């Protein structure tokens, strides 16, 4: 979970552009009339999000927007056919919010090519195009996001970076020719009960981080396989083989940990370091093919 710089875009600027092209004059007027309320929502959102209690934020529901002759579909339209719509002026804001070559702040691996509504657009009707509610994210995190009722998730614009180790993995061995791994969250005892710890646990589940990290790990397993088999072949004794494999993994672990202590690679190398299952699988492969590969 990464902190990213908060957008400076304001809803007062973005909102009018999202319905500018709408043909029905009456609807355009309805949108214009609700703008002060939408601006108020943004100000309230800012206060609640800054204090880390967005769960207490009073979002607009259907009954709140009814006096303006607007529906939930109208508010969702602002995003789907306004901000996101290719060719309209508002699309420039969409592009600006997504950013260029950005990495998803939730999983920290996927390319951020979409916008995630921190408060869902089907629920919080006054923040469907509010920039501070729109976070760049990868399509996996965005599409799989599953928010359980009243659960607050990591907000990349507001929540502070985590300075402790929380991501770990367990190597489960080969099954059906596939190397299997499982990622999990483990909060250090001194941080249990802290706000950030809760956000990590809820977001890890909500964004299916284990599923995406397992997929990324498959590529890493393939990348290191040849090098690890060579360590086993090089070792003259059992102890030496084991040390060589350990050291090769340890170097990668230290390098990854230096870059990001909670990355999927850090957890992956760490769990392989002392894994008897992983080592034994390498030994078994080498015993069937003891010759070094000449290339
Ligand atoms: Zn992601």
Tens digit of pLDDT for each residue in 131-147?
Answer: 999 999 999 999 999 88
**pLDDT at position 263, please?**
96
Position 260 confidence tier, pLDDT thresholds 50, 70, 90: very high
Q: Compute the distance from residue 103 Cα to the ligand 1 centre, in Å.
A: 8
Q: Compute the distance from residue 71 Cα to the ligand 1 centre, in Å.
A: 31
Q: What is the pLDDT of residues 186-219, one digit of tens each?
A: 999 999 999 999 999 999 999 999 999 999 999 9
Domain residue spans in the chain? 11-144, 167-288
Q: Compute the distance from residue 113 Cα to the ligand 1 centre, in Å.
A: 10
Extended strands (E) in the chain: 114-117, 134-137, 167-175, 178-185
**pLDDT at position 75, please?**
96
In our burial notation (b when 16+ CB lie closer than 10 A, e otherwise), range 1-37 reads bbeeebbebebeebbebbbeebeeeeeeebbeebeee
**pLDDT at position 161, please?**
84
DSSP state, residue 135: E
Q: Taking 70 as the threshold, does the pLDDT of residue 79 lie above it? A: yes
Q: Could you give the angle at which helices 276-288 and 238-259 cross, rounded to 10 degrees?
A: 130
Per mean pLDDT, which range of 19-23, 92-96, 201-205, 278-282 is the poorest?
19-23
104 burial type by CB count under 10 A (0-12 exposed, 13-18 middle, 19+ buried): buried
Q: Compute the distance from residue 111 Cα to the ligand 1 centre, in Å.
A: 7
Q: Taking 70 as the threshold, does the pLDDT of residue 295 lie above it? A: no
Q: Taking 70 as the threshold, does the pLDDT of residue 294 lie above it? A: no
Q: Compute the distance from residue 10 Cα to the ligand 1 centre, in Å.
A: 25
- Looking only at the bridges linking them, the beta strands covering 167-175 and 134-137 are unpaired
Q: Compute the distance from residue 191 Cα to the ligand 1 centre, in Å.
A: 25
**pLDDT at position 293, please?**
57
Phi and psi (nearest 5°) for 72? -60, -40
DSSP state, residue 132: G
Q: Taking 70 as the threshold, does the pLDDT of residue 225 lie above it? A: yes
d(C-alpha 207, C-alpha 155), whole Å: 13
User: What's the average model confidence in pLDDT over 2-30?
Assistant: 94
Q: Compute the distance from residue 105 Cα to the ligand 1 centre, in Å.
A: 7
Q: Compute the distance from residue 272 Cα to the ligand 1 centre, in Å.
A: 24
Q: Compute the distance from residue 285 Cα to the ligand 1 centre, in Å.
A: 35
């Amino acid at each position: 979970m990464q902190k990213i710089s908060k957008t400076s875009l304001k809803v007062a600027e973005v909102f009018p552009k999202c319905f500018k092209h709408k043909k029905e004059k009456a609807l355009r007027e309805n949108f214009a009339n609700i703008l002060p309320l939408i601006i108020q929502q943004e100000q309230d959102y800012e206060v609640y999000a800054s204090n880390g209690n967005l769960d207490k934020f009073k979002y607009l529901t259907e009954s709140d927007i009814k006096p303006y002759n607007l529906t939930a579909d109208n508010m969702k339209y602002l995003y789907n056919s306004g901000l996101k719509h290719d060719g309209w002026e508002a699309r420039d804001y969409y592009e600006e919010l997504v950013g260029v070559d950005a990495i998803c702040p939730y999983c920290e691996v996927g390319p951020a090519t979409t916008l995630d509504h921190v408060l869902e657009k089907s629920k919080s009707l006054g923040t469907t195009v509010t920039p501070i509610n729109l976070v760049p994210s990868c399509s996996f995190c965005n599409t799989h996001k599953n928010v359980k009722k009243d659960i607050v998730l990591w907000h990349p614009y507001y929540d502070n970076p985590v300075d402790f180790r929380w991501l770990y993995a367990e190597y489960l061995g080969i099954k059906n020719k596939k190397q299997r791994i499982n990622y999990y969250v483990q909060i250090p005892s001194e941080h249990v009960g802290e706000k950030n710890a809760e956000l990590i646990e809820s977001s890890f589940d909500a964004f299916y981080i284990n599923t995406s990290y397992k997929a990324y790990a498959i590529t890493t397993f393939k990348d290191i396989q040849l090098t690890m088999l060579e360590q086993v072949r090089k070792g003259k004794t059992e102890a030496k083989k084991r040390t060589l494999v350990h050291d090769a993994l340890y170097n990668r672990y230290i390098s990854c940990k230096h870059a990001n202590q909670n990355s999927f690679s850090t957890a992956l190398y760490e769990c392989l370091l002392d894994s008897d299952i992983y080592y034994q699988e390498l030994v078994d492969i080498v015993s069937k093919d003891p010759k070094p590969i000449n290339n």
